Amino acid sequence: MLHTVNKSPFTNNSLESCLDCVADGAAVLLIEDGVYGALNGSKVADKVKAAMGKVTVYALSADVKARGIADKVIDGIKLVDYAGFVDLTVENDKVQAWL
Amino acid sequence: MSETKKFLYVNRKAPYGTVYALESLEVVLIGAAFEQDVQLLFMDDGVFQIAKGQDTAESGMKNFSPTYTALGDYEVTKMYVDKESLEERGLTVDDLLPLVWEDEDDDYAEKDSIILVSRDEIAALMEEQDVVLSF
C-alpha cells in the first residue's frame, strides 16, 4: 500500500499519523510541503529514520529541489520523479493520502 | 510624501505549497515602493522561504527566491530570522540565501541583512512596529 504525505511535519501532524499507521512493507511518498519530512537533522528526522526500518520512504524530486533541500535528505530516502510517482500508484493496490 | 510607518511582515509559511510566501513578497515590494520602513521576519516554516539552492526547473513553478536577494536595493535591510525555527529544521544561517545590502553612508560597504533573533526578541520587535502584516 502507498501512503502520501503533502503537509509540512512542522505545521501539521499528517506525517506523524501516517508513520503511526503504516504496515510493514508499505511505501510512504513525501510530496509538496511533505518533503520537509525528508530533512536530515530536523526534529522529526529520528521518527522518519525509525520508520525506515519497516517501510520504504520516497520523496518527489521536483518538490525536494524546488525547496532547496536536495543535499539535506536523510540517507536511504529514495528520490522519484513524476514518472516514478505514477509507477508507485500502479505498483501499489491502494493509496492513502494523508492530507 | 505622507508619514513613514514601521512595517513588519511576518512570514510563517513554506514557499510553493501555498501562495502566502509569494503574496507577502509582492506586498513587501509595494511597501518598499512607498518608501515605508519595511522589515521582514521569517519564523516557523517561513524560514524555508529564504533557503538557498531552490531549483524549480523540474516542478515547472516560478522560483521567486532570487527576489529576496534584491530587496537590499529597495532599502529593505533588516531580515529577522528566528533561531529556534532554524534549529528545529536542522538548518543554520549557512543554509540561507546570502542577503546583503550596500550602506551608502559607509562607502557602499556590503552588510548582512539577516539578523538572528530569539522568541523574546521577536516579542519586542512586534511591539515596536506601527503595522504588523501576517503571512
Is A47 an 8 Å CB contact of chain B?
no
Find out whether A28 and A56 touch, Cβ atoms under 8 Å.
Answer: yes
Smallest Cβ distance to B51: which of A11, A32, A69? A69
Question: Could you give the angle at the alpha carbon of B54 between the alpha carbons of B48 and B56, nearest 5°?
Answer: 120
Alpha-carbon gap: B105 to the closest alpha carbon of chain A (Å): 35
Cell of B55: 531549483
- The chain A residue lying nearest B56, using CA atoms, is A66
pLDDT digits (tens, 9 = 90+) for B97-117: 999 999 999 999 999 999 999
- The chain A residue lying nearest B14, using CA atoms, is A33
pLDDT digits (tens, 9 = 90+) for B5-51: 999 999 999 999 999 999 999 999 999 999 999 999 999 999 999 99
pLDDT digits (tens, 9 = 90+) for A5-54: 999 999 999 999 999 999 999 999 999 999 999 999 999 999 999 999 99
The pLDDT, as a whole number, for residue B3 is 86
The pLDDT, as a whole number, for residue B1 is 54
- Average pLDDT, stretch A62-83? 98
Q: In 3D, which of B135, B133, B9 has the Cα closest to residue B71? A: B9
Is A42 an 8 Å CB contact of chain B?
yes
Assembly ipTM: 0.90
Smallest Cβ distance to A66: which of B18, B55, B89? B55
